Structure 1
Amino acid sequence: MPTIHPPTRPVLEGKTMMAIVTTGVGGYDRLEVSRVPVPAPAEGEVLVQVLAAGVNNTEINTRLGWYSSSVATGTNDAAENVSGQTVTRPDGGWNTATPFPLIQGADCCGRIVAVGRGGDESSVGARVLIRACMRTQGFSSMETSWLGSDRDGAFAQFVAVPEHEVFTVDCDWSDAELATIPCAYGTAENMVRRAGVTSGSRVVVTGASGGVGSAVIQLAKRRGAHTIGIASEAKQDRVRALGADTVLGRDEALSVLGSESADVVIDNVAGTGFPAMLSLLQRGGTYVSSGAIGGPLVELDMRTFYLKDLTLIGCTAWDDAVFPSLISYIERGEIRPLLAKVFPLDQIAAAQREFLDKVHVGNFVLIPPAPL
């Protein structure tokens, strides 16, 4: 018989919690440390106490309004352009306008503390990861709802989410280590799967020292691929330590490897280096992307695309198997977390500033204060 835990919702009703509320598009002044009501889980939802929350480009890009078609620069340039300004971008969200004010935070390691009406009370107390990319109409549809972008997320002491989006995890990792996984590794696993990476595939990974890039290196290696990481010279030894077979600077990749030397390129940098990435691909090769931190507008020679029979794959919506697979990799010890630094939740601006400096390898994590 499962242990039946007493309901905890009445203890939290009417209580407030600390949260970082992003009030709109703009600079760090848009990140407000606030007291807001603890959300009540609706029917079919659970209430999760946030134990640790990861920092991603996604939250920064959303605050900057970078997803707007009016933005033509990379993330860092966009951050400089909005500093100290009030900016309105009605199309700045993933699908429509971002629903500001918003509690951001796509990465959450937490513990279930309450369930909605009719929910299974035996789940209370379980340590869980939340699937950040939610398929609102099932996996037959590409429609998504992202934690922290389309609905309130993990930059708070509590978050309410659908019960089918929480996954228990049995491992000896710390809460902060687990919080490095959902967004970066979910995005990486989705790209590796869709690209069809298998044993012997030659895979070029740009931004290999970042959260997603470092995850791609690990996830491609566990499939037996030959991985070529692209990273700045200062970070190359750390990328090799992840298991990359070769590590190069972005500007030297084509000259060292030669054209038509790769089966797959997984590129979340884009920008001016995009043409070289297509040149690296052999005929019939696959280019996969879920980001463009170096700049969203690229130069594409259509002759390279069609004469080489290339496949270009955009990845946002995670496939059904992605998150359960990640949980199994963690529990079997097949991947390891890359925790670069931990900050208190109220130091989010400092964390994002340092994140944009790009001197770290891996992921930053925020820790909210324990509730009273």
Structure 2
Amino acid sequence: MCERMTAAVLYRHGGPEALELRTDWPLPSVGPGQVLVRVGATAVNNTDVWTREGAYGLHGRPEAKAGWRGAVNFPRIQGGDIAGVITATAADVPDSWVGRRVLVDPAFYADAREDAVPVGLLGSEADGGFASYVAVDAAHVHDMSASPLSDQELAALPVAYGTAMGMLERSRIRSGETVLVTGASGGVGLALVQLAAARGARVVALTSQSKAAALQEAGAEVCVFRKTDPVALRRRLEAVAPEGLDAVADVAGGPWLEQFLPSLRDGARWVIAGAVAGPVVTFDLRRLYLHNLSLIGSSMHTRAHFASLADLARAGTVRPRIAGSYRLTDIHAAQEEFRRGTHVGKIIIVP
């Protein structure tokens, strides 16, 4: 095997120029308990762009350049979504794994429990999948030999669908409930629509009018539109859910919290995993406690959440929508399309 590979390497926080394509990057070594995966496909996520830009801020310093866990150790190969084939194993890992097609859980966890919280991510705290090969812990690979999904479809799952699974599980969204999904046409939003509909929830998607058909195809029963007058929008929600929404799965943040809080029934849940519409919000705390509402923060997934997602992938229960596919050598063009936000589904990168 050649000891060099192609990789997109992030050298610092900044614009697209901070991400450099290298064709001579050292092949990763396999440490104890690890396997070497030849990357078949990966995908673009908000976290890739925000980490490059240093857009996460620090506690008390929201303007500071930082990754989601603080300082990033440069140089770094990004890419938390990884589907591929195992080509080598460490001495303490059975070599029967060699040749298997796998999906990689990208999270690092606080401890060994199945419900441990994530404290790191491939592509942020360790090198990820924007490369020909990646070394990962064997405990994080899930055998996809029996999955009907392609490598590109599998690569759409880990970050976006893992985050969506975490949101649905932490907010206990069940069959028969009415849930509003904000930012519904993005990677996590579309995953929420598909996964919530798959468990029997009634999905209301907040989106733009041009993307409504794609979201209804994905499982949304009703679409409401962002540019609608706020009063008319609230009346539309009242008509859709006369007793109030059971839950909101929010990946946008910003003004939607204050605007839609009155649309929740007593005892409802609001789970949030993003802030693309604004990270700093105001709302009336009295509406929260007087109506016994739950505001839940959700970052990524647990081991148990990801195992459930892997089961769905093996069964082909959920098929991600692929919005576009690029070669690794065209990663800047892939991220440019991603930032335009005109797509519905995942943008895939194939090494």
Please confirm whether the aligned pair reaches a TM-score higher than 0.5, indicating the same fold. Answer: yes
Match of 1:6?
none
What is the letter of the counterpart of residue 161 of structure 1?
A: V
Is contact 1:144-1:317 (8 Å) kept?
no
2:344 aligned with 1:344, yes or no? no
Q: SS state of the match for residue 255, structure 2?
A: helix
Question: What percentage of residue pairs aligned between the two structures are identical?
Answer: 39
Task: Name which of 111, 121, 124 aligns with 2:98.
Answer: 124
Question: Which residue pairs with 1:99 in the alignment?
Answer: 73
Larger displacement relative to structure 2 (93-102 or 283-292) = 93-102
Letter in 1 for 2:119: T
Shift of 1:95: 2.2
In 1: Cα distance, 2:306 partner to 2:132 partner: 23
Which residue is equivalent to 1:115?
89
Q: Which SS does the other structure have where 1:144 is aligned?
A: strand
Match of 1:354 in 2: 337
**CA deviation after TM superposition for structure 1 residue 325, in Å:** 1.0
- Work out whether residues 109 and 175 of structure 1, in 8 Å CA contact, stay in contact via their aligned partners in 2: yes
Partner of 1:62: 51
User: Which residue of 139, 142, 152 maps to 2:127?
Assistant: 152
Q: 2:19 — aligned with what?
A: 31
Secondary structure of the structure 1 residue equivalent to 2:235: helix
1:226-245 equivalence runs, <5 A: 226-245=202-221
Any idea what the Cα deviations from partners look like across 1:182-240, whole Å, max 9, x if unmatched?
11110001111111111111100011111111111111111111110011011011111
Moved over 4 A (4+): none
Task: Indicate the SS of the match to 1:264.
Answer: strand
Corresponding residue of 1:7:
none
* Mapped partners of 2:40, 2:250: distance in 1: 31
Quick one: distance in 1 between partners of 2:190 and 2:121? Answer: 22
The separation in 2 between residues aligned to 1:247 and 1:132, in whole angstroms, is 32
Alignment of 1:1-372 (within 5 A): 11=1, 15-34=3-22, 35-69=24-58, 70-71=61-62, 89=65, 92-139=66-113, 141-169=116-144, 170-252=146-228, 253-258=233-238, 261-368=244-351
Shift of 1:117: 2.2
Give the C-alpha shift of residue 171 in structure 1.
1.9
Provide the aligned C-alpha RMSD in A. 1.6
Alignment size in residue pairs: 339
CA distance in 2, matches of 1:159, 1:68: 28
Letter in 2 for 1:56: N
Letter of the aligned partner of 1:229 in structure 2? A
1:209–1:239 contact (8 Å) kept in structure 2: yes
Do the aligned partners of 1:207 and 1:268 also contact (CA within 8 Å) in 2?
Answer: yes
Deviation sequence 1:221-269 (CA, Å, 0-9, x none): 1111111001101101111111111001134442311386201000010
Give the partner amino acid of 1:108: I
Q: Shift of residue 141 of structure 1?
A: 4.3
- CA drift at 1:327: 1.7
Structure 2: tracts of 5 or more residues without a match = none
CA contact (8 A) 2:50 2:67 kept: no
Q: Against the structure 1 CA distance between its residues 351 and 129, is the aligned structure 2 distance closer, same or farther, given a 3 Å change threshold?
A: same
Match of 1:76 in 2: none
**In 2, Cα distance between equivalents of 1:132 and 1:143:** 10
| Structure 1 CA distance for aligned equivalents of residues 304 and 281 of structure 2 | 31
Q: Which moved more, 1:250-259 or 1:110-119?
A: 250-259
* TM-score, normalising length: structure 2: 0.93
Kept in 2, the 8 Å contact 1:103–1:148? The answer is: yes
**Structure 1 unaligned runs (5+)?**
1-10, 73-87
Kindly indicate whether the alpha-carbon contact (under 8 Å) linking 1:260 and 1:283 is maintained by their aligned counterparts in 2. Answer: no
The 2-side partners of 1:198 and 1:143 are apart by 24
Deviation at 1:130, TM superposition (A): 0.5
Q: What code does the residue aligned with 2:7 have?
A: A
TM-score, normalising length: structure 1 = 0.88
Q: State whether residues 69 and 120 of structure 2, in contact with CA within 8 Å, keep that contact through their aligned partners in structure 1.
A: no
Shift of 1:282: 1.1
Q: Distance in 2 between the 1:178 and 1:97 partners?
A: 30
Partner SS state of residue 125, structure 2: coil
